Amino acid sequence: MNFNEKFNQAPNATGLVGHFIAGQLTYQTERTQNIYNPATGEITKQVALADTQTVEHAIAVAQAAFPAWRDTPVIKRARVMFKFKELLEQHSADICQLIGQEHGKILHDAAGELQRGIENVEYACGAPELLKGEYSKNVGPDIDSWSDFQPLGVVAGITPFNFPAMVPLWMFPMALVCGNTFILKPSEKDPSTSLFLAELLKKAGLPDGVFNVVNGDKEAVDTLLHDRLIQAVSFVGSTPIAEYIYATATAHGKRCQALGGAKNHAIILPDADVDNVVSSLLGAAFGSSGERCMALSVAVAVGDEIADLVIEKLQAEIKKLKYGHYADTSNDFGPVISAAHKAKVEGYIQSAEEQGAKIVVDGRGAAPSGYEQGFFVGPTLIDQVTPDMQSYQEEIFGPVLQIVRVSTMQDAMQLINEHEYGNGTCIYTRDGEAARYFSHHIQVGMVGINVPLPVPVAYHSFGGWKRSLFGDLYAYGPDGVRFYTRRKTITQRWPAANVREAKQFSMPTLN
Ligand code: NAD
C-alpha cells in the first residue's frame, strides 16, 4: 500500500489530529496520544504520532517542491506572506480558541501570543529588502563582487507546547520567504494550531508541498535529525532536549539553532517603584501559568526592607488573582499543561519547603469550582529561597515566584551570572547608572530595564546565553534571515577585448 492509499482519507470526524503533507490533511493511526483540555482534565482528541515512513514521505514532498519555490521571485513569495497575515487576522478568534482548548491559556493571552507571531510574518513580508545582498563595484581591475543569500533547501522546525502559534511563526514565515521548504513538528500536546496555520498558508496561495506539518514524538524528531535532505533544524523546547537536538543535528551535518529552558531573575533595587514592581511581577511570574521561557520566576531583593515590602504587597495582590477556564476572559491565567506537569510543579514547591524556604502563598491542591479535575496550580510565593535549593536551580515552568534576599546588587548579579541558564532578566530601579552597569555586565541574552518580559520585537532577534541556547544564531529577526540562507559570493571580471591577462602565481592583490 503506498502512502496515498494509506493516509489520504477524508478529513477525520472522530477527533484524530493528523498531518499536513503535500497540501492535504492526512491521517495515520498506528500510534496515537491523547490530547486534553487542561482546564477540565478531559481527553478531547487524539494526535497521530508519525512514524519514520510518514516523516520521510513529508521530506520527499518538501524536497520535490523546493526547486520551483526557490526560483519563485522573492516578491511573489512575500505576497503569500502578506495574504497569510491578512488570513491570520481574519481567523484570530478561531486560532485563539484552538490554543485555549489544547493549551489552556486565557483567550486574551492567546491573542497576545498570536499578535507577536503575526509581527514575525510582517517582518518576513520585507524579504525583497532583506535578501537584496551586498554589492561592491571595482574591487579590482574590471572586477565586481557581490554576495547572494540563497535558500538552504528543506528545513525543519521542532516546537514546544507553550506557544503553539507564536514559536512556529518565529520560524517558518522567514524560512519560506527565503525560498526554503519546511517541515514543522509541533508539540504533540497541542498540535491543532499548526494544522490550522498550514491550511491558512494554502489559502494564501502557498504551493502544495512547500509547508508540511508532521505530528509526532521522538520517532518523528529523530527521523528529521538523521535524514540527509534536511539542511537545517530550528528547535525550541527544554534544555536537555535542545542539547540532544543540537548534538545530533550537527553530527549529521545540519545547521542548528536549539533554544532551551530558563530561570529568569529580576533584581529589585531599594530605589525601585514598589507598586509598579509588584504589578509587573504578577504578570511576568503568573501570566500563562508561568509557562513562558521568559517568565520571571526569581525576584532577587536587595535588602530586607524592600523584600518585606514587596512580599507584603504581592501577598495582598495574589489573593485577588483569578485562574480558570480559557474562555472566561476575566481569568488572569489558566491551568498548566498536564496532570504530570501539575505534579512536577507541586513537587518543586514541596522540595523548597523541605529545604527550608518559607511558603508565603501556597498554590498546591488548587481546584477552581467546576474545574476540579483540571490541571491547576494556584499562584505560589516562596520566600527565603537560597541557591542550593532544587527549586532555585531548576526550571519550574509553573505559577511560582521565588524570592531570594541579598545585601548588594553585586551579590544579585553574581547569582544570575553563576546560574546555568541565561535567557532573560530584568532590573527594577530608578538609577540609570546601576541599570547601565547591569545591562553591560550581566551574562544573559535578553535584558529588561523596568521591563519584566524583554522579548525582542520581530525585527530584532531572540536568544539566550549559556544553556538557554545551543548554536550561534538567534531565532527570527536579522539572525533568522542569516539562519535560513547561505551566502554565496561571486567575483566577476569582464575585461575589455584588447586586455591581455598576465600570468600570476602569487596570491592576487592590488599591489
Ligand atoms: P520539550 O523539550 O519537552 O519538547 C519540545 C519539542 O521536543 C516537542 O516538539 C517534543 O515533541 C520534542 N521532544 C520532546 N522530547 C523529545 C525527545 N526525547 N527526543 C526528541 N524530541 C523530543 O519542551 P516543552 O515541554 O514542550 O516546552 C517547554 C520548554 O520549552 C521549557 O523548558 C521552556 O523554557 C522551553 N521554551 C524555550 C523557549 C526559548 O525561546 N528559549 C521558548 C519557549 C519554550
Per residue of the chain (511 residues), give pLDDT as tens.
343 343 333 345 568 999 999 999 998 777 999 999 999 999 999 999 999 999 999 999 999 999 999 999 999 999 999 999 999 999 999 999 999 999 999 999 999 999 999 999 999 999 999 999 999 999 998 999 999 999 999 999 999 999 999 999 999 999 999 999 999 999 999 999 999 999 999 999 999 999 999 999 999 999 999 999 999 999 999 999 999 999 999 999 999 999 999 999 999 999 999 999 999 999 999 999 999 999 999 999 999 999 999 999 999 999 999 999 999 999 999 999 999 999 999 999 999 999 999 999 999 999 999 999 999 999 999 999 999 999 999 999 999 999 999 999 999 999 999 999 999 999 999 999 999 999 999 999 999 999 999 999 999 999 999 999 999 999 999 999 999 999 999 999 998 889 888 888 999 888 7
Look at residue 462 and tell me if it is in a domain. Answer: no
Q: Which three cell numbers stand for residue 372?
A: 476540579
Q: Is residue 245 part of a domain?
A: yes
Residue 148 CB less than 6 A away from ligand 1: no
> Do 406 and 440 belong together in one domain?
yes
Instruction: Write the CATH number for 94.
Output: 3.40.605.10
Q: Are residues 71 and 143 in the same domain?
A: yes
Q: What's the CA-to-centroid distance between 422 and ligand 1, angstroms?
A: 17
Ligand 1 pocket, 154 CB below 6 A?
A: no
400 and 254 in a single domain? The answer is no
pLDDT value at residue 501: 84
For residue 41, being part of any structural domain is answered with yes
**Distance linking the first and last C-alpha atoms of the chain:** 68
Torsion angle (degrees, nearest 10) of CA 86, 91, 95, 101: 170
Residue 257 and residue 250: Cα distance in Å, rounded?
10
CA of 488 to the centre of ligand 1 (A): 33
Please tell me whether the overall predicted TM-score, pTM, comes out greater than 0.85 for this model. Answer: yes
Structural domain includes residue 458: no
- My answer on whether 234 and 139 are in the same domain is yes
- Is position 228 within any domain? yes
The confidence score (pLDDT) of residue 508 equals 87
Q: Which domain holds residue 422?
A: 264-449
pLDDT of residue 10: 36
CA–CA distance, 475 with 483 (Å, rounded to integer): 8
181 lines ligand 1 (CB under 6 A): no
Within 8 A by CB and 6+ apart from 235, the residues are 157, 158, 159, 241, 242, 245, 246, 249, 256, 257, 258, 259
Q: What is the pLDDT of residues 340-383, one digit of tens each?
A: 999 999 999 999 999 999 999 999 999 999 999 999 999 999 99
Q: Number of folded domains in the chain?
A: 2
Same domain assignment for residues 86 and 221:
yes
**194 and 284 inside one domain:** no
> Do 285 and 402 touch, CB atoms closer than 8 A?
no
**Whether residue 73 sits in one domain with residue 212:** yes
| CA 186 – ligand 1 centroid, Å | 10
**In a domain? residue 508:** no
pLDDT for the residue numbered 273: 97
What is the C-alpha separation between 92 and 98, in angstroms, rounded?
Answer: 10
pLDDT at 30: 78
Residue 254 and residue 276 share a domain = no
Q: Tell whether 331 and 201 lie within a shared domain.
A: no
pLDDT score of 12:
58
For ligand 1, say whether the CB of 187 is within 6 Å of any of its atoms. Answer: yes
The dihedral sign for the CA sequence 138, 139, 143, 144: negative
